[in-house]
Structure formats: C-alpha cells, structure tokens
Amino acid sequence: MDHMIPLSVPNFEGNEKKYANEAIDATWVSTGGAYITELEKKIASFLNVENVAACQSGTAAIHLGLREAGVLPGDAVIVPTLTFIAAVNPVKYQFAEPIFMDADDSLCMDPIKLREFCENECEFKDGKLFFNEHHVKAIVVVHVFGNMVDMEAIMDVAEKYNLKVIEDATEALGTKFTTGRYAGKFAGTIGDFGAYSFNGNKIITTGGGGALTAKNPRDVDHLRYISTQAKDDPHYYIHNEVGFNYRMTNLQAALGVAQMEELPEFIKRKQKNHEEYNRLFGGYELGYILPYREGTESNKWLYSFVIDRTKVKAPMREIITALEKRKVQTRAIWGLINEQKPYQGAYAYKIEKAKYYSERVLNIPCSTNITDDEIRYVVEQVKEVLERTI
C-alpha cells in the first residue's frame, strides 16, 4: 500500500464547500446565522425529536446536560470507566464526584452491576439515592463506538432511584432500537438528555461541534440560552444567569447541514464495511470483530477487533506500531478512566470486563470513504502482524 489508511477521517462529498462559502460570503461565521438553526432542525427531524441545540462540542453538550439535570457540588454521578475521558470530565466541571461502573460485553455500562450498586452500596431515603454522604443525582451512559446501551435496564434503575440519565451519544448518531420498549428510538433520545459530537473523526463532522436534546423541549430552549452567555436583552448586556460560550458557529453549522444530507448514505457504508470485515475475519483463530447489540440498528461508527490473548501475547503498543509501519492506523481502546491520575481516588465498583476488553480491543480503519481494497489490505496486515507475535 502506497498510502496510510487512517482510522477515521472526514468525508466531504456533498455541499460542504458550497454552504461554507455561502456563510463566508454572508459574513455570518460566528455564533449567529441561519445555518445553525437549519442544522438544529435537520438533526431534530432525523432523530424524531422536537428540539435540538447546537453547541461547540460533545463535551459541552454533556456539561450542559449535567447542569440542567441539577448536578451540584458534592453530588455524585455514576459514569462508565470504559469510555473517552470527555464523558467524565464534565462531572468535575460541576464539582461533583464520579462513581465508576463496569462494562458489559457491548463495551457499554453494565446495568446489572449498576442495579447491584444502587441496591447494595447505597441508601435510598426520601426519594433520593445516597452513596456515603453524596446524593447520587445522575447517570452518564455512553453508547460506545455506536453500540447501544441496554437502555431498558438502565432506565428501570433510573426510574426506581430518581436518577437523571444523560446519554452520551457522541459516537452513536443514527443508532436506534428495532425491538423492545424503545423500538424506533434513537440513541440520545431516551434518557433525560442526549449529547452528540461532530468532531473530525465522527460519522459526520463540523470540525469541532456538538448538539444536545432533552426529553423536555423547554430544557433545550434553556440550554440554548445559557450556551450563549445567558443574554436576556437584545440591545443591552443584561444577564440573569451564569452562562457559557458553548454555542456552535454558523461556519461549523454550514458544514453540518451538508453532512446531515449525507448521513443516511454514510450509515449504509459503515454497515456494509462492517459486514465485509466480519466476512474476512470469519473463523479467524486469533480474534474476531465485536458484534453490536441485538435488537438495534447501529451506525457502526468504529470497528473493534478483539484479540485472543490466550494466543497473542504481544503488548498492544507493539501491535499498533507494527501496523503503522505497514501503513495501517489503529488504536487501542481507551485507558480506563478510574485508573487515570485525576480519578485514582474515585470509587470504582467491581471493574472486571472493562479491564478485560481494554487489554484486547484493537480499533481498525472505518472511514466512510475506505475502499474494499483497503479493507482487504487492513485484514491481511492485522493477520500477518498478529501471527508474527505468537
């Protein structure tokens, strides 16, 4: 291969340049402009929700959701340990304490351990859940790599213990349930708040950027208000709340409108390419492609190859470096957040499967513009590298 095959890169096949140039020509490039409103409407229509607010990042969206959920200093929030750290840091922005939960085989939060923790480690009194001296106020669940969390089980626990649910759907735009209580519902539209990301590596991108929706459409209006510095008067600088500089720019939104036009096609390609990887790795003795949850239709954003560690002993860094030399960009799953320096003092509940998968998952190239020849080359190189380490 004469070029590097990247892990996940943007795909600008449509009207991106046209719309961006229109925004520039109109000089509406900052946090006001028609493209922001249009993008919000397009996302809301796609998700079948009433209201969406566009913001600067998925991290900002999660932070806004936690704030609107009433998370206060000294409260606790249950979070996954197997995730990108941006899902957890906003808990600290609110001066609250994270409680780390294990993953199940989907890589998402384990609802069985969540229920056990609430039943056995906490006290429920006067309609509030307490862990030690902390009021457990909310749960942040992450739809990891486009795989859907077991939302039926999560929502049952949340309703029983009066917990707000913030869905981190930053990797799962377009993932939805096809069966069960939430059939037809998209990731990010089931809990109290749903956060999306349009970072450069996501299924669609605005460069940086994100969006937020909520079960109560009026909450979205308030979040849009505080994302623009809580400005109350169009002529004078009057502010009745503490706000944030979290609004998306019109230039970013112009890209987003074009990308939303392409989203259905991008999802089809992700699904087709995942099937091709499955076929080429079928029956392979040193690992397998991680499946997505039954009863869902996933956007299949990122593909996870699970290495058989009974046979392959080489460190993950050695495998990644060897593949990079062969022009295949891969990455390990994240380091567990409860093991990161800022969170080593936080409480972690029975972390087992998260550790198991963190030592075995290799993410492989998944861009929507990857070719069949490149997929075959990736599979060949992964097999050759793993077989050389046995």
Question: Which candidate, 276, 262, 200, places its Cα nearest to that of 8?
Answer: 200
Contact 169, 188 (CB under 8 A): yes
Nearest to 290 by CA among 364, 179, 196: 364
Which residues lie below 8 Å from residue 171, measured CB to CB, with a gap of 6+? 142, 143, 144, 145, 146, 197, 202, 301, 302
The tens digit of pLDDT for each residue in 49-73 reads: 999 999 999 999 999 999 999 999 9
Amino acid code (one letter) for 97: E
The residue to which tokens 């994240």 are assigned = 334
In this prediction, residue 273 carries a pLDDT of 98
> pLDDT tier at 167 (50, 70, 90 boundaries)?
very high
Alpha helices per DSSP H over the chain: 16-25, 34-47, 58-68, 89-93, 111-120, 151-161, 217-226, 250-281, 316-325, 353-358, 372-388
Buried b or exposed e, range 298-325, using 16+ CB within 10 angstroms: bbbbbbbbbbeeeebeeebeebbebbee
Ramachandran angles phi, psi of 19, nearest 5°: -70, -40
Burial of residue 2 (number of CB atoms within 10 Å: 0-12, 13-18, 19+) = exposed
- DSSP letter at 291? P
Q: Which pLDDT score, from 0 to 100, does residue 98 have? A: 98
Lowest mean pLDDT among 62-76, 89-103, 234-248: 234-248
In this model, does residue 379 exceed pLDDT 80?
Answer: yes
- What per-residue confidence (pLDDT) applies to 66? 98
For residues 27 and 251, the answer to whether their CB atoms sit within 8 Å is: no
Q: What is the pTM of this model?
A: 0.96
Q: CA–CA separation, 109 vs 381, rounded Å?
A: 32
Measured distance CA(310)–CA(380) in Å, rounded: 21
At 298-336, the pLDDT tens digits run 999 999 999 999 999 999 999 999 999 999 999 999 999
Could you give the C-alpha distances from 373 to 246, 277, 379, 380, in angstroms and in order?
41, 12, 10, 11
Residue whose C-alpha is closest to residue 152's, from 9, 25, 295, 342: 295
Band (pLDDT 50/70/90 cuts) for residue 389 is confident
263-388: CATH class = alpha beta
Q: Evaluate if residue 32 carries a pLDDT over 90.
A: no
Both tokens of 180, joined, read 């069960």
Local confidence band at 48 (pLDDT 50, 70, 90 cut-offs): very high
Class for the domain spanning 16-260: alpha beta
Percent of the chain beyond pLDDT 90?
A: 96
Domain boundaries, the chain: 16-260, 263-388
130 pLDDT more than 90: yes
Work out the mean pLDDT of the chain and round it to a whole number. Answer: 97
* 369: Cα within 13 Å, side-chain hemisphere: 13
Rounded to whole angstroms, the Cα distance separating 202 from 10 reads 7
Q: DSSP assignment of 148-205, as one string?
A: PP-HHHHHHHHHHHT-EEEEE-TT-TT-EESSSTTTTPBTTSSSSEEEEE-BTTSSS-
| Token digits of residue 99 | 């409680």
Tokens of 103: 């993953």
Render pLDDT for 174-219 as a digit per residue (tens, 0 to 9). 999 999 999 999 999 999 999 999 999 999 999 999 999 999 999 9
